[in-house]
Structure 1
């Protein structure tokens, strides 16, 4: 029982911390620079300035989320969970509580990059612990219910673009829209890096008549594992071993040179690997 209480407390503390980072990204970088990078936070930023600072960003975000959640329950059911409700509320509260912090920079480039990065880190932490912060993601799921031939991701992108265009028109500054796109890019890259891992590697698929010799050389000289897959050339109907080898980025050139020295006619496919778990890599 005590262990469960500790786990739940830890999860909600992490969600709170992630939401705090998102709130700080808004108040330290984005809102003071009128960068509305999509979502309900972008709409709330526009409303904040249109109302001449009378309507706080956090409370506007919460006001937008309430009908979205109600509509979401009626349309797609209660699938967002208590954590997401908590994440939505705590983000709105923390956004208004932290308005006392001073803007770090009014340089639009720095604000876009660092604001997007900080927001990405915060959102990734929230997502890691099974929550969301509401926003246009809920609207995208609702819309997808009626137009299922368009993916949720495409709808979400469309909504974010619409918010960015709206902000550009209201502020009469289309450069702000470009900065907002840069913010979205930085945010998404940080989310992907944290959720999918930053231990990038390379995978090589090697097709050769001398696969046994190549495999032995990789095993002994590079100290890397190699997996032999049974393959058949559909044109020649010839059976041969297809080698699969995952290496670190700086080892790619060594493998390519090794293969070339053994069989210049070898067919080599090189592809990115987002994350590797196991011996020789992170565990």
Structure 2
């Protein structure tokens, strides 16, 4: 069997990453142009701040495209980041910043303004669409600059994490939006941030279709045998000790699909009705019997 050269694998992966980023950026830009920007909904970040500036300048008779302002702000942030941390952000960040800015302005003339009479629908659709787009970008190990650069710089110089700093940065943008558009639209924008975040997680991690089960029983060997031969799933025995009783027990660890969960509970109950079980969601299972372990 021929083996693919590492260089070929890297090129293929790089092509796939940039393809995912490009598709994600186009989806994000369309969501901004169709739902968020025309409805004055600020979903945090540089795009949100650019939306506020766009309408502020428009009130003064000036029209500066949102994408142009996004690019200008991101370039300033990139220069600041490079001065502190060097060129660690790399080509993907620069590509993401430029591509999203160009896409927002490039798609704007051809994108209808949707849900213009219902801000709640605009929030729901806008949050979902931009979340899908940004999820694809992050899945490709890319980003579009903006608040994540600010968050990383602030986190390096404080006792707070990057996630906390991103939340603080987005909250600051939401406050600016409240001053410009009023509290109602600002609140809608905050809801869009939450929806977008949840959808990003969903795109990156997928639906939880696998379950992990921990089983403690006096009949662990029989339960493990049933899992292996009746469910066709693997099982691992882990040494454990009850802290109250001091008794040593073997705990079974196994991963099953959601549709196999009822069968697992039934066979455990059939062997030992008094068995103790913990069942939890897992985001992803890779390897034999599940999804192929590919990056």
- Equivalences, count: 281
Judge which range, 70-79 or 196-205, deviates more. 196-205
In structure 2, C-alpha distance between the alignment counterparts of 1:92 and 1:188, rounded to whole Å: 20
In structure 1, C-alpha distance between the alignment counterparts of 2:68 and 2:192, rounded to whole Å: 22
1:225-268 residue CA offsets vs partner (Å, 9 max, x unmatched): 22212223344332222101111223323322332333233221
Residue of structure 2 in register with 1:85 after alignment:
94
Alpha-carbon distance, 1:145 to partner: 1.9
1:138 aligns to 2:144 (yes or no): no
Residue of structure 2 in register with 1:154 after alignment:
164
Alpha-carbon distance, 1:34 to partner: 0.8
Alpha-carbon distance, 1:178 to partner: 2.6
Residue of structure 1 in register with 2:193 after alignment:
184
Q: Which residue, out of 127, 138, 162, partners 1:127?
A: 138
Residue of structure 1 in register with 2:285 after alignment:
276
In structure 2, C-alpha distance between the alignment counterparts of 1:279 and 1:209, rounded to whole Å: 28
In structure 1, C-alpha distance between the alignment counterparts of 2:12 and 2:279, rounded to whole Å: 45
Alpha-carbon distance, 1:133 to partner: 0.5
Alpha-carbon distance, 1:164 to partner: 1.3
1:51-98 residue CA offsets vs partner (Å, 9 max, x unmatched): 116121111111111211111111222211012111101111111111
In structure 2, C-alpha distance between the alignment counterparts of 1:11 and 1:237, rounded to whole Å: 52
1:122-155 residue CA offsets vs partner (Å, 9 max, x unmatched): 21222233321011110111111211x1001001
In structure 2, C-alpha distance between the alignment counterparts of 1:274 and 1:188, rounded to whole Å: 16
In structure 2, C-alpha distance between the alignment counterparts of 1:219 and 1:6, rounded to whole Å: 38
Residue of structure 1 in register with 2:234 after alignment:
225
In structure 1, C-alpha distance between the alignment counterparts of 2:265 and 2:11, rounded to whole Å: 52
Equivalent position SS for 1:32:
coil
Structure 2 regions of 5+ residues with no counterpart? Answer: none
Equivalent position SS for 2:37:
helix
TM-score using structure 2 length: 0.87
In structure 1, C-alpha distance between the alignment counterparts of 2:281 and 2:166, rounded to whole Å: 26
1:22 aligns to 2:32 (yes or no): no
Equivalent position SS for 1:51:
helix
Alpha-carbon distance, 1:209 to partner: 0.7
CA contact (8 A) 2:33 2:104 kept: yes
CA contact (8 A) 2:42 2:190 kept: no
In structure 2, C-alpha distance between the alignment counterparts of 1:220 and 1:145, rounded to whole Å: 52
Residue of structure 1 in register with 2:255 after alignment:
246
In structure 1, C-alpha distance between the alignment counterparts of 2:20 and 2:267, rounded to whole Å: 47
How do 1:255-270 residues align onto structure 2 when only pairs under 5 Å count? 255-270=264-279
Alpha-carbon distance, 1:212 to partner: 1.4
1:166-214 residue CA offsets vs partner (Å, 9 max, x unmatched): 2122112x22223222212222122212222335311110011111122
1:96 aligns to 2:105 (yes or no): yes
Alpha-carbon distance, 1:5 to partner: 6.7
Provide the alpha-carbon RMSD of the alignment.
2.2
Q: Which residue, out of 168, 172, 175, partners 2:178?
A: 168
TM-score using structure 1 length: 0.90
CA contact (8 A) 1:200 1:276 kept: no
In structure 1, C-alpha distance between the alignment counterparts of 2:13 and 2:216, rounded to whole Å: 48
